[in-house]
């Protein structure tokens, strides 16, 4: 008897919903016969400046040019992703006390510690080097702080991200 499959808890990442032409979340996504997806306006513009109708990703040529229809499934998923991105962003703005890891890309993880020497805040996975590398183990780790202070002058450190 086969073991039951575990629930897939992997979060969808932004790059699954990005058009490789405009590098933004899909708007009116279409699927080419080769299987690659693009925004409808992006692929039409790309084809208008090219001699042939080919996939910008895999270079497969389409003759005649395919009649592209909006991929409803990808469109709905991209819309949900865009909405969740806005919701997460607004939730973070409503809790000004929360500090996020300076090294995470989307989605940002909560910081566990801030390092006075590095002038940065770290989540659990990005904090690991401070716990195992000899030179970093001497750094002063403090509870997550939004405005890190210089250990000598006790003034705020300006961190540019």
Angstrom distance (rounded) from CA 103 to CA 80: 25
pLDDT at 33 over 70: yes
Domain covering 97-161: architecture:
Irregular (4.10)
Residues of the chain with CATH 3.30.40.10: 14-94
Structure tokens at 41: 């306006």
Q: Which two tokens stand for residue 95?
A: 């809790």
Residues of the chain with CATH 4.10.830: 97-161
Among 57-66, 87-96, 119-128, 148-157, top mean pLDDT goes to 57-66
Phi then psi for residue 61, to 5 deg, are -90, 140
Q: What is the mean pLDDT of the chain?
A: 80
- Spell out where 6-92 has E strands: 29-31, 37-39
Q: Write out the CATH class of domain 14-94.
A: alpha beta
Q: Between 14 and 104, name the one with better pLDDT.
A: 104
Measured CA to CA in angstroms, residue 49 lies from 33, 52, 53, 156 at distances of 20, 9, 10, 52
pTM: 0.49
d(CA 133, CA 92): 32
């Amino acid at each position: 008897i086969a073991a039951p499959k575990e629930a897939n808890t992997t979060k969808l990442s932004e790059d699954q919903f990005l058009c490789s032409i405009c590098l933004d979340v899909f708007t009116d996504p279409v699927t080419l016969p080769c299987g690659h997806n693009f925004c409808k306006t992006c692929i039409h513009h790309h084809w208008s400046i090219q001699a042939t109708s080919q996939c910008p990703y895999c270079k497969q040529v389409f003759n005649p040019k395919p009649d592209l229809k909006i991929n409803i499934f990808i469109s709905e998923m991209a819309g949900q992703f865009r909405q969740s991105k806005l919701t997460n962003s607004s939730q973070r703005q409503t809790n000004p006390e929360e500090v996020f890891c300076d090294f995470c890309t989307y989605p940002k993880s909560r910081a566990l510690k801030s390092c006075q020497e590095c002038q940065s805040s770290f989540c659990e996975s990005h904090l690991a080097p401070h716990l195992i590398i000899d030179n970093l183990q001497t750094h002063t780790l403090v509870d997550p702080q939004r405005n890190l202070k210089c250990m000598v002058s006790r003034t705020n450190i300006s961190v540019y991200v």
